[in-house]
């Protein structure tokens, strides 16, 4: 059976970009068709300036929202990264396979590091090595497919490269994974700046739809989306990024096709209105279920505890095999083989 692994960082409240770019597929496809593991990757939230209490709160909230969105613990494994030691254990080995040049070429590192330096801050070493930890997340589970938005494809490519390199040097240990981005909405754009990604840690709230935004807030944000000065509704990502973004959001919410949908509209106003309502309807059941789950935090904790146990059992043998393959001496188990013939 195909093994699927993916994750979400608790660095901010989950957005419509997270939902359409990743979570929707986890819920609708992956958990039904594959042996799927989904992870709140809290160690990754420590790569930038962070507040410990906020990371804890956002980790719990992300897990609760993933359940509210429809992940079913009977069908998939949901857990928190730091509850499973194998991620950090394997990450170090992969640091011994990756090169610093490879790390410095990562687009997300270059962008985030430049932003941090421009603010006069310092860049944590973990921001540079983050893609190695992500590769460890993926490779520890012998993952075949990684459903992610297209901002993560370079990181998944790195995981592939490291798997191939490790296998060549030390013997076959890892499955070589591949990214599986969604067909539409691979990159949901900021409604106020349709040339940049709708990212949850960005500061510009009005351009970001959060999964827990009230319906009226969603409507306001979508109705105020920046479009261009053209009048016709055409689907052209390059020339009309704002309108294309709305068409993709509408298509991803309603199961349609952005190109076809463009023909159904003669004004931006009507397109915005339908998009707003489609998003409100998409989020309604998620928000209802989220409210119910918040009233039962013990249930979420149980799910995460069971999930971590299952995840550990899957990751352990692969990570142990990597430790042996790379040349580390296995620790004595404490259970000795009986000595049959002491003289030999």
| Dihedral angle, C-alpha 272, 61, 8, 197, nearest 10 ° | 30
110, 112, 183, 273: which one is catalytic?
A: 112
Q: Are 87 and 140 in contact (CB under 8 A)?
A: yes
In angstroms, give the least distance from the CB of 282 to ligand AMP: 15
Cα-Cα-Cα-Cα dihedral of 241, 10, 284, 183, to 10°? 40
Could you tell me the smallest distance in angstroms from the CB atom of residue 317 to ligand AMP? 26
Q: Quick one: what does residue 73 bind among ligand AMP, ligand TRP, none, with the CB cut-off 5 to 8 Å set by partner type? A: none
Number of residues that this document lists for the chain: 344
Instruction: Scan for tokens 């070589």, then name that residue.
Output: 176
Cβ–Cβ under 8 Å, residues 308 and 78? no
- Residue 137 annotated as binding site: yes
SS3 234: coil
Position 259 contacts ligand AMP (CB under 6 A)? no
Report the candidate in 215, 209, 217 with the shortest Cα–Cα distance to residue 191: 209
Smaller CB distance to ligand AMP: residue 188 or 311? 188
The residue among 145 and 213 lying less far from ligand TRP, judged by its C-beta, is 145
The C-alpha angle with vertex 268 and arms to 266 and 271, in degrees rounded to 5, equals 85
If one asks whether residue 47 binds ligand AMP (CB under 6 A), the answer comes out as no
Select from ligand AMP, ligand TRP, none the partner in contact with residue 146, using the beta carbon and a kind-dependent cut-off of 5 to 8 Å: ligand TRP
- Establish if 62 lies at the interface with ligand AMP (CB under 6 A): no
- Select the span of 68-76, 78-86, 193-201, 232-240 touching ligand AMP (CB under 6 A): 193-201
Bridge partners of 79? 39
CA 33 from chain centre, in angstroms, equals 19
* Active-site residue flag, 112: yes
Binding residue for ligand AMP, selected from 87, 200, 221, 290, defined by CB under 6 A = 200
Alpha-carbon Rg for the chain in angstroms: 22
List 183, 197, 221, 273, catalytic entry: 197
* Helix axis angle, 107-118 to 125-139, nearest 10°: 150
Catalytic (active site) residue 197: yes
Query: Binding string, 223-262, against ligand TRP, x = CB under 6 A?
Result: ----------------------------------------
Q: How far is the CB of 251 from ligand TRP (least distance, A)?
A: 22
Q: Which is nearer to ligand TRP, 143 or 275 (CB)?
A: 143
CB of 25: closest distance to ligand AMP in angstroms? 9
C-beta of residue 25 within 8 angstroms of C-beta of residue 42: no
Q: Which of 20, 41, 62, 69: binder of ligand TRP (CB under 6 A)? A: 41
Q: Can you point out the beta strands (E) in 35-168? A: 35-40, 76-80, 145-146
**To 10 degrees, what angle do helices 297-325 and 153-170 make?**
40
Residue 138 in contact with ligand TRP, rule: CB under 6 A: yes
17 forms part of the interface with ligand AMP (CB under 6 A): yes
What does the alpha-carbon distance between residue 133 and residue 252 come to, in Å, rounded to a whole number?
30
**Binding site residues, ligand AMP, CB under 6 A:** 8-9, 17-18, 21-22, 148-149, 151-152, 185-188, 197-200
**Binding site residues, ligand TRP, CB under 6 A:** 5-7, 9, 41, 44, 134, 137-138, 146, 148, 152, 155
Which residues have a catalytic role annotated? Answer: 112, 197, 200
């Amino acid at each position: 059976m195909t093994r699927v692994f993916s994750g979400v960082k608790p660095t901010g409240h989950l957005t419509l970009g997270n939902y359409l770019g990743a979570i929707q597929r986890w819920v609708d496809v992956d958990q039904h068709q594959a042996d799927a593991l989904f992870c709140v990757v809290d160690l990754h939230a420590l790569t930038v300036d962070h507040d410990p209490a906020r990371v804890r709160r956002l980790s719990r909230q992300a897990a609760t929202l993933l359940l509210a969105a429809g992940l079913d613990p009977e069908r998939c494994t949901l857990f928190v990264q730091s509850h499973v030691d194998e991620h950090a254990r394997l990450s170090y080995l992969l640091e011994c396979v990756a090169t610093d040049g490879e790390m410095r070429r990562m687009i997300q590192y270059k962008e985030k590091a430049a932003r941090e330096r421009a603010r006069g801050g310092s860049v944590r070493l973990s921001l540079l090595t983050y893609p190695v930890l992500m590769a460890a997340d993926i490779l520890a589970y012998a993952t075949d497919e990684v459903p992610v938005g297209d901002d993560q494809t370079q990181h998944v490519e790195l995981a592939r490269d490291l798997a191939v390199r490790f296998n060549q040097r030390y013997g076959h240990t890892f499955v070589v994974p591949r990214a599986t981005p969604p067909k539409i909405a691979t990159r949901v754009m900021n409604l106020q700046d349709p040339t940049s990604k709708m990212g949850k840690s960005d500061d510009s709230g009005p351009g970001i739809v959060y999964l827990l935004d009230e319906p009226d807030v969603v409507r306001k944000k979508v109705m105020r989306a920046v479009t261009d000065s053209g009048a016709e509704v055409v689907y052209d990502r390059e020339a009309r990024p704002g309108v294309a973004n709305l068409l993709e959001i509408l298509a991803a919410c309603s199961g349609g096709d952005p190109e076809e949908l463009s023909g159904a509209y003669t004004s931006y106003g009507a397109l915005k209105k339908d998009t707003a309502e489609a998003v409100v309807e998409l989020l309604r059941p998620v928000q209802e279920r989220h409210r119910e789950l918040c009233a039962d935090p013990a249930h979420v904790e149980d799910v995460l505890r069971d999930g971590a146990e299952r995840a550990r059992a899957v990751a352990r043998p692969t990570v142990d095999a990597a430790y042996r393959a790379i040349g580390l001496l296995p620790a004595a188990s404490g259970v000795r083989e009986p000595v049959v013939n002491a003289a030999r």
